[in-house]
Structure formats: structure tokens, C-alpha cells
Amino acid sequence: MLIREIQQKDNESIAKVIRDIFHELDAPKVGTAYADPILDTLYEVYQAPRSVYYVVENGGKVVGGCGVAPLENGDASVCELQKMYFAPEIRGTGYAEKIIEMCLEFAKTEGFEICYLETLSFMTAAQKLYKRIGFENIDGPMGNTGHNSCEVWMTKKL
């Protein structure tokens, strides 16, 4: 398996991975990444300054990804860990932790001081991973991501 920066040819594949996970988990579609208007154009979105998105490729097939970008309507020192989703066949392989660490390293080089994320309360495996990496729960959302169905918010000092 290979972790690399997203390419334009990956847009359809990573959008499908993300949408499939929402269907698998019967997760809310409104107020989450599922409904993001940018979901089909992640390559273009992550060409913005201080932004990067990595995908995991297995045998030429995109099976997951995660990105980091400035927090929408947030302080310039805060980035957001975004769209971390992995197909079932690679969960538990350690690639999620690797890709998050790559995102956090990128964020440090871009001068961010805090990394923020939000998730759904029933995504407990992801929350355990975030806590193991050093994220801590906070009492409410930061910025304005439009993900009003997310009810778990976390930050990590970089």
C-alpha cells in the first residue's frame, strides 16, 4: 500500500469511498461530509494554500484518505483534519495513524499551532485513534464547517 498526495484522477474514487462509508454506517447524510458540495472535487479543493490531502492506494485502487486545511472561518493558527475515511479492507492496518501523522507534520510546517477535528459520536474507533494520537475533546465546535450533525469536537496542540 502507498500513501500519496491526491491527484485529479482520484476525485471520483475517494468520493465513492467516503459515500460508501456513510451508507455502511447508516450515518447522517445532511450536515456531514457526505453532503459537502466539494466532495467530488477534492483534488481541486486541496490545491489551496496551506492544504493537503493524502490518499491510500492499494493495488492501484484508492481505499482511503485524509486531509488538512485552514479551519473555515477560524483563526489563522488553527487547521482542521478533514475527511478521514477508510474502506473496510484497510481498517486496523495502521494506515489511518500514518496518514494523520503526515497531515499533522504538514500542518506544523505550514505554521499551524492547533489542529481541530469533528466527528460523529458513534464513530468510536476513530475517536480512540484520535485520542491515542493526542487529540482531546472540547465542549463545542470551532469555525464554521457546516457539519452541524457532528457532535464530537477535538483539538491537538501541534
- The total number of residues shown for the chain amounts to 158
**Rounded to whole angstroms, how far apart are CA atoms 146 and 139?**
17
CA-nearest of 19, 68, 24, 61 to 39 is: 19
- pLDDT, position 15: 96
| DSSP three-state, residue 139 | coil
CA-nearest of 98, 113, 135 to 50 is: 113
The model's pTM: 0.93
- pLDDT, position 132: 96
**Rounded to whole angstroms, how far apart are CA atoms 48 and 52?**
8
**Rounded to whole angstroms, how far apart are CA atoms 106 and 104?**
5
Taking CA atoms, 116 is separated from 1, 71, 137, 157, in Å, by 27, 8, 10, 9
Residue 109 has pLDDT above 90, yes or no: yes
- pLDDT, position 28: 73
**Rounded to whole angstroms, how far apart are CA atoms 83 and 32?**
10
CA-nearest of 53, 133, 69 to 101 is: 133
pLDDT tens profile 74-87: 899 999 999 999 99
Start-end of H helices in the chain:
11-25, 42-45, 95-109, 124-133
Average pLDDT, the chain: 93
pLDDT tens profile 55-71: 999 999 999 999 999 99
Strand-pairing partners, residue 137, are: 154
